[in-house]
């Protein structure tokens, strides 16, 4: 039997009478670097917010490691890391404190949390920012801190909503390097992006959403096979 870390079946969500997700089904294997792309308003963030547990779907099922997201969220949160599209760091606190406080949400012991926070600051090259206030960080460093925070509980699956949007190429590539290293170490990644270059560089498998429907899914090499670039495929889809 295939080892799926995430199994989404027939997911539907409407806001008022507007259908934002229409019968979405896909599976992600453990160890995958799985991409989600689609034009503005396609439903990407809504789908990811359902996985974070902050938007409740109208129907469908989501299983993470075989557990049902809606009924077993308390267990699932220990293996899930989330990086939302909008910065939700605590601006009044320092970098280190943001990590330490977040770790309390998982009941991590103080000793473990200090150790883990230091390791993460090290991994994200943020040691010298340890005692800086979050409000003094650049956009790129805030984004790195958000990813670091999402890793505090050693998740096996991380879900990121456009983690590199608005960053300059250097910061973007720095984040690519970190995500690739995490994936190489066995962390499964589900991530959305608007950058086709990023998609081609990172993703192994992906889905393309448009008006709440999956219009294309599969292995990135199969998707781009015999075609122009992913950029052209995307533009063709977005025109319809």
Ligand X SMILES: Nc1ncnc2c1ncn2[C@@H]1O[C@H](COP(=O)(O)OP(=O)(O)OP(=O)(O)O)[C@@H](O)[C@H]1O
Which residues in this chain contact ligand X in the complex, by CB under 6 A? 15, 20, 38, 40-46
Residue 81, contacted partner among ligand X, Mg ion, none, CB below 5-8 A by kind:
none
Min dist CB 236 to ligand X, Å, is 18
CA 217 to the chain's CA centroid? 18
41 binds, among ligand X, Mg ion, none (CB under 5 to 8 A by kind): ligand X
**CA distances to 114, 120, 155, 226 from 79, in Å:** 19, 17, 4, 38
Give the nearest distance from C-beta 214 to ligand X in angstroms: 13
For residue 168, give both structure tokens.
Answer: 């300059």
Q: 121 vs 6, 18, 55, 85, CA distance in Å?
A: 28, 42, 30, 21
In the range 72-91, which residues lie near Mg ion by CB under 5 A?
Answer: 85
Pick from 4, 5, 34: which is nearest to 203 by CA? 34
Nearer to Mg ion by Cβ, of 129 and 143: the residue is 143
The Cα–Cα gap between 83 and 85 comes to 7
Q: What angle do CA 91, 86, 196 make, to 5 degrees?
A: 135
**With CB cut-offs between 5 and 8 Å by kind, which of Mg ion, ligand X, none does residue 98 bind?**
none
**Contact with Mg ion (CB under 5 A) among 6, 21, 45, 148:** 45
| Minimum CB–partner distance for residue 85 and Mg ion (Å) | 5
Say if CB 56 and CB 213 are below 8 A apart: no
Residue 38 interacting entry, from Mg ion, ligand X, none, C-beta within 5 to 8 Å by type: ligand X
Give the Cα separation of 48 and 85 in Å (integer): 9
In whole angstroms, the minimum distance from the beta carbon of 107 to ligand X comes to 30
Nearer to ligand X, 24 or 100 (CB): 24
Residues near Mg ion, by CB under 5 A = 44-45, 85
């Amino acid at each position: 039997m295939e080892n799926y870390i995430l199994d989404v079946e027939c997911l539907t969500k409407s806001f008022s009478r507007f259908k934002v997700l229409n019968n979405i089904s896909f599976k992600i294997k453990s160890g995958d670097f799985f991409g989600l792309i689609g034009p503005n308003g396609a439903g990407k963030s809504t789908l990811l917010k359902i996985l974070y547990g902050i938007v409740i779907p109208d129907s469908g099922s989501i299983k993470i490691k075989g557990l049902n997201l809606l009924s077993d969220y308390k267990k699932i949160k220990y293996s899930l890391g989330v990086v939302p599209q909008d910065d939700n760091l605590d601006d009044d606190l320092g970098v280190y404190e943001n990590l330490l406080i977040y770790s309390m949400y998982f009941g991590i012991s103080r000793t473990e949390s200090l150790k883990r926070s230091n390791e993460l600051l090290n991994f994200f090259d943020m040691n010298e920012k340890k005692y800086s206030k979050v409000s003094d960080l650049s956009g790129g460093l805030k984004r790195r801190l958000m990813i670091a925070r999402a890793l505090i509980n050693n998740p096996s699956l991380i879900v990121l909503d456009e983690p590199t949007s608005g960053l300059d190429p250097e910061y973007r590539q720095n984040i690519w390097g970190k995500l690739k290293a995490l994936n190489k170490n066995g962390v499964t990644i589900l991530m959305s992006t608007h950058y086709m270059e990023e998609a081609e560089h990172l993703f192994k498998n992906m889905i393309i959403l448009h008006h709440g429907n999956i219009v294309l899914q599969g292995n990135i090499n199969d998707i781009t096979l015999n075609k122009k670039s992913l950029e052209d495929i995307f533009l063709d889809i977005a025109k319809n």
